[in-house]
Amino acid sequence: ELKVEQNPLFLSMQEGKNYTIYCNYSTTSDRLYWYRQDPGKSLESLFVLLSNGAVKQEGRLMASLDTKARLSTLHITAAVHDLSATYFCAGGSASNTGKLIFGQGTTLQVKP
């Protein structure tokens, strides 16, 4: 059974700093997803990583996937306050009828 773990669970950082959120998963997963959630809101899709070595970037966020290490990272470059949110990773398999398992989430707080 796939298990997905994120760390850290809470991250407080200063504007302008860089940091990385880690997502480890327990068994083979075809693909890895990243989502953002603002307080009281729904989840917004950020990235889907489909193969080993995949890297995707959008603005100050960059996600990568290492299937051999069963690890995905979400790197934040020069954080700004607008990036404050909770970030979730999720693992799944196209062969497993679309079932997706989420990590616990990482709450990011960016301070001025």
31: Cα separation from own chain's centroid:
12
- Distance (Å, whole) CA 70 – CA 62: 17
Minimum separation from the CB atom of position 74 to other proteins (A): 15
- Distance (Å, whole) CA 112 – CA 84: 11
Q: With contact defined as beta carbons under 8 Å apart, do 20 and 76 qualify?
A: yes
Which residues in this chain contact other proteins in the complex, by CB under 8 A? 6, 31, 33, 35, 41-43, 45, 48, 88, 90, 92, 94, 97-105
Is the CB of 77 or the CB of 109 nearer to other proteins? 109
Is the CB of 77 or the CB of 107 nearer to other proteins? 107
Minimum separation from the CB atom of position 107 to other proteins (A): 10
